[in-house]
A = this chain, B = another copy of it.
Amino acid sequence: MKTEAKDTKPYHHGNLRESLLAAARRLLETEGHSNLSLRKCAQAAGVSATAPQNHFANKEALLTALAAQGYAELETYMKRGVKETADRGARRQAALLGYVAFAQELPALYELMFARDRVSSSDPDLLRHVGACFVILADLSKDFGRYHGDAAKVEAKQQMFVWSLVHGYAQLLTADRFKKDTMQGMNIFDIIPDLGT
């Protein structure tokens, strides 16, 4: 028989894993990821302090899931507003601006995605999402800049160059290391030198 009134809280949450991740996302941007705790996430999800253990082996596992989610979201930012039929130059433009926008809008999440210390970088799910982002970056790196040497190496260099540049720019921007007046009001394309097509 029912032991209580109609809308008593059910013992089983039903969707706790996702609720915890959502709570973590919220706490991440408001309190920074060094002040994020499993207990706060649990409380925000309206559940006991140790409940998260049923869904995440430890704190690192939760942060890793969060980072994986971040890469998935970064992917949508890069794809956002890009018509599939557009030429590669337009895709590149949109994707790189999307990348930077992601870092600026979700700085704490972005930082977490590269925090060697707090996420297990060998997690399959994480690697899958990282790979998906890299596929996009690899596509839009083609035909970028003039290089010499064999094709495979050229492609690798293009990819490394584009990713390094956009990642460095995004992080220095969010870390507020570009301070001088003349540095304000630029976007990532402004700082790229003339590459001679």
Contact = CB atoms under 8 A, between A and B. Distances in A.
Contacts of A98: none
Interface string A86-115: 000000000000000000000110010011
A23 to B, nearest CB: 18
Interface residues of A, number: 53
A1 to B, nearest CB: 49
B111 A160 contact: no
Interface in A148-166: 148, 152-153, 155-161, 163-166
Determine how many copies of this chain the complex contains: 2
A50 interface: no
A156 B175 contact: no
Interface of A: 32-34, 107-108, 111, 114-118, 121, 130, 144-148, 152-153, 155-161, 163-169, 171-172, 174-178, 180, 182-183, 186, 188, 190-196
